[in-house]
């Protein structure tokens, strides 16, 4: 495409007629990639062929090897986050290789393995950026929401916001670290250093953060959807010392609670389960309304807060920590074209760990699928 100076006509889906920089008319291959596209909220993603993206100044063209499926993707598809660019290629847990660098991009070499997270761009100048809180940037742009993401064969990212991926992580294992792991880790840090950690909702984020909390010498209590015996067993296998229904009383007081399920009823439940001075962190980007609750369950210096997005510093810190735990993500791979099925399984609570999409032609070795 970049060879063409003037587009004259399109022959078919894959070829264009253009006048080149030398002035001669020629037929050029119009290279296309496979992508899953959201055209309107509350409709299934459509399998599409889009022109290969081109990296602009300071950007990288990345060949996607794996892309994690996040609950945020589901909130976007379901219209609960209502300002996506449209049409949109979702996906913000992207693992791939740099195959081309835009002008002035020097931080990563062609061939480097990189991860592309949710935070895709910040202005660097607002009051939040200037005080180390770029996660709250007033003009932030997010991957797979404001910027096309990784449900595709190729994607483009601002090189300042991508991370190097630890070499001991295969592609499938690395993908869930980029949001489930990273934002879960930020939530755990904001929950303080209490010993008894409650995890509400035991999906992609909690199954990673359970491992991190145990590595830090804490005790983990898992709260799962009523009757979800599989999730309860999963939490116990990963080292939670207790696992039970999310609205049931905890076996003992918690020092902090992380709420990953998008269910407002869990907020008063977690406050009731928390000791004096305890901290409850809502870790998701969307939650159903929180029912009113008596002041006495917040009294005694309990803290209720949310966590929003990530900073690049969070990413660097978590990518260094993950191999030391070592975090082992449980992964359910799906071909890219099956993105709707993967999202449906997530909506129904049927995924154990994290779903990860694999573009056509990428064939991860079998042991990458093991936990
Ligand atoms: Zn800013
Ligand atoms: Zn996410």
Q: How far is the CA of 92 from the centre of ligand 2 (A)?
A: 6
Query: In this structure, are 205 and 337 located in the same domain?
Result: no
pLDDT at 105 over 80: yes
Instruction: Find out whether 157 and 164 touch, Cβ atoms under 8 Å.
Output: no
Return the DSSP state at 152: B
pLDDT at 229 over 80: yes
pLDDT at 143 over 80: yes
Q: How far is the CA of 120 from the centre of ligand 1 (A)?
A: 12
User: What pLDDT score does 58 carry?
Assistant: 98
Q: Considering every ligand atom, which ligand is closest to the CA of 68?
A: 2
Nearest-10 crossing angle of helices 204-215, 180-190: 50
User: What pLDDT score does 17 carry?
Assistant: 64
Q: Rounded to whole angstroms, how far apart are CA atoms 323 and 165? A: 10
Q: Which is higher by pLDDT, 6 or 248?
A: 248
pLDDT at 240 over 70: yes
Residue with tokens 């154990």: 352
Instruction: Find out whether 186 and 321 touch, Cβ atoms under 8 Å.
Output: no
Q: Which is higher by pLDDT, 16 or 323?
A: 323
pLDDT at 175 over 60: yes
Share of the chain above pLDDT 70, in %: 92
Identify the domain containing residue 151 by its residue range. 32-178+329-369
Q: Considering every ligand atom, which ligand is closest to the CA of 127?
A: 1
Q: What is the CATH number of the domain that holds 293?
A: 3.40.50.720
Q: How far is the CA of 293 from the centre of ligand 1 (A)?
A: 35
Query: In this structure, are 259 and 364 located in the same domain?
Result: no
Q: Considering every ligand atom, which ligand is closest to the CA of 81?
A: 2
Residues in contact with 370: Cβ distance below 8 Å, sequence separation at least 6, in sequence order: none
- The environment of the single-atom ion ligand 1, i.e. residues with CB closer than 5 A, is 122-123, 126, 129, 137
Confidence band for 321, pLDDT divided at 50, 70 and 90: very high
Query: In this structure, are 65 and 156 located in the same domain?
Result: yes
What average pLDDT does range 101-123 have in this prediction?
97
Query: In this structure, are 260 and 240 located in the same domain?
Result: yes
What average pLDDT does range 256-271 have in this prediction?
97
Sheet holding 274-282, edge to edge: 242-245, 219-224, 196-200, 254-259, 274-282, 303-306
Q: How far is the CA of 75 from the centre of ligand 1 (A)?
A: 24
- As to burial, measured by CB atoms within 10 angstroms (0-12 exposed, 13-18 middle, 19+ buried), residue 364 is middle
Q: Rounded to whole angstroms, how far apart are CA atoms 350 and 46? A: 22
Q: How far is the CA of 144 from the centre of ligand 1 (A)?
A: 19
What average pLDDT does range 180-205 have in this prediction?
96
Domain count, the chain: 3
Q: Which is higher by pLDDT, 273 or 168?
A: 273
Q: What is the mean pLDDT of the chain?
A: 92
128 occurs within a structural domain: yes
User: What pLDDT score does 300 carry?
Assistant: 98
320 occurs within a structural domain: no
Query: In this structure, are 3 and 36 located in the same domain?
Result: no
Q: Considering every ligand atom, which ligand is closest to the CA of 71?
A: 2
User: What pLDDT score does 24 carry?
Assistant: 82
Nearest-10 crossing angle of helices 312-321, 180-190: 100
Q: How far is the CA of 152 from the centre of ligand 2 (A)?
A: 17
Query: In this structure, are 222 and 294 located in the same domain?
Result: yes
Query: In this structure, are 284 and 335 located in the same domain?
Result: no
Q: Considering every ligand atom, which ligand is closest to the CA of 143?
A: 2
User: Worst-scoring range by mean pLDDT, 11-15, 138-142, 181-185, 318-322?
Assistant: 11-15
119-121 vs 141-142, strand pairing mode: antiparallel
User: What pLDDT score does 235 carry?
Assistant: 97
Query: In this structure, are 187 and 288 located in the same domain?
Result: yes
324 occurs within a structural domain: no
The pair of three-digit structure tokens given for residue 44, joined into one six-digit string = 């299934």
Q: How far is the CA of 143 from the centre of ligand 2 (A)?
A: 9
Q: How far is the CA of 146 from the centre of ligand 1 (A)?
A: 15
What is 80-131 written as a DSSP string? SS----SSB-----EEEEEEEE-TT--SS-TT-EEEE-SEEE--S-STTGGG
Q: Considering every ligand atom, which ligand is closest to the CA of 179?
A: 2
Q: What is the CATH number of the domain that holds 157?
A: 3.90.180.10
Query: In this structure, are 41 and 166 located in the same domain?
Result: yes
User: What pLDDT score does 367 carry?
Assistant: 46
322 occurs within a structural domain: no
Query: In this structure, are 113 and 196 located in the same domain?
Result: no
Confidence band for 268, pLDDT divided at 50, 70 and 90: very high
pLDDT at 21 over 90: no
- Among candidate residues 63, 37, 262, 69, the one with its CA nearest the CA of residue 156: 63
pLDDT at 167 over 60: yes
Residues in contact with 322: Cβ distance below 8 Å, sequence separation at least 6, in sequence order: 166, 169, 177, 181
What average pLDDT does range 274-286 have in this prediction?
97
256 occurs within a structural domain: yes
pLDDT at 46 over 50: yes
Q: Rounded to whole angstroms, how far apart are CA atoms 250 and 223? A: 9
Q: How far is the CA of 57 from the centre of ligand 1 (A)?
A: 20
What average pLDDT does range 95-121 have in this prediction?
97
Query: In this structure, are 44 and 173 located in the same domain?
Result: yes
Q: How far is CA 261 from CA 142, 285, 339, 346, in A?
A: 21, 10, 21, 12
Q: Rounded to whole angstroms, how far apart are CA atoms 155 and 37? A: 13
In degrees, to the nearest 5, what angle opens at C-alpha 212 toward C-alphas 151 and 230? 70
Query: In this structure, are 296 and 354 located in the same domain?
Result: no
Q: Which is higher by pLDDT, 167 or 145?
A: 145
User: What pLDDT score does 27 carry?
Assistant: 67
């Amino acid at each position: 495409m970049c060879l063409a100076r003037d587009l004259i006509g399109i022959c078919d889906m894959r070829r264009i007629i253009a006048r080149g920089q030398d002035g001669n008319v020629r037929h050029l291959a119009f290279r296309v990639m496979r992508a899953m596209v959201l055209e309107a909220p509350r409709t299934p993603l459509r399998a599409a062929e889009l022109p290969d993206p081109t990296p602009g100044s300071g950007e990288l063209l990345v060949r996607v090897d794996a892309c994690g499926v996040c609950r945020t993707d589901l909130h976007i598809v379901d219209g609960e986050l209502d300002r996506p660019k449209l049409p949109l290629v979702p996906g913000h847990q992207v693992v791939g290789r740099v195959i081309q660098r835009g002008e002035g991009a020097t931080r990563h070499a062609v061939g480097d393995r990189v991860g592309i997270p949710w935070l895709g761009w910040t202005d660097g100048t607002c009051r939040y950026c200037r005080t180390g809180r770029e996660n709250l940037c007033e003009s932030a742009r997010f991957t797979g929401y404001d910027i096309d993401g990784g449900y595709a064969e190729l994607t483009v990212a601002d090189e300042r916001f991508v991370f190097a991926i630890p070499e001991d992580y295969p592609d499938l294992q690395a993908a869930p670290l980029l949001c489930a792991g990273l934002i879960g880790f930020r939530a755990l840090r904001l929950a303080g250093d209490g010993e008894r950690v409650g995890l509400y909702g035991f999906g992609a984020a909690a199954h990673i953060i359970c491992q991190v909390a145990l590595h830090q010498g804490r005790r983990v209590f898992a709260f799962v959807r009523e009757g979800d015996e599989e999730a309860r067993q999963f939490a116990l296998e990963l080292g939670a010392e207790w696992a039970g229904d999310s609205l049931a009383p905890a076996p003992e007081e918690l020092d902090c609670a992380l709420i990953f399920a998008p269910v407002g009823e869990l907020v008063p439940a977690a406050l009731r389960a928390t000791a004096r001075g305890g901290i409850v962190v809502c870790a998701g980007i969307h939650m159903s309304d929180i029912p009113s609750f008596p002041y006495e369950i917040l009294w005694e210096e309990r803290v209720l807060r949310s966590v929003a997005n990530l900073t690049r510093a969070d990413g660097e810190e978590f990518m260094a920590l993950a191999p030391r735990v070592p975090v082992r993500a449980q992964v359910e791979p799906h071909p890219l074209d099956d993105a709707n099925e993967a999202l449906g399984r997530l909506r129904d609570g049927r995924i154990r760990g994290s779903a990860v999409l694999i573009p056509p032609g990428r064939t991860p070795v079998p042991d990458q699928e093991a936990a």
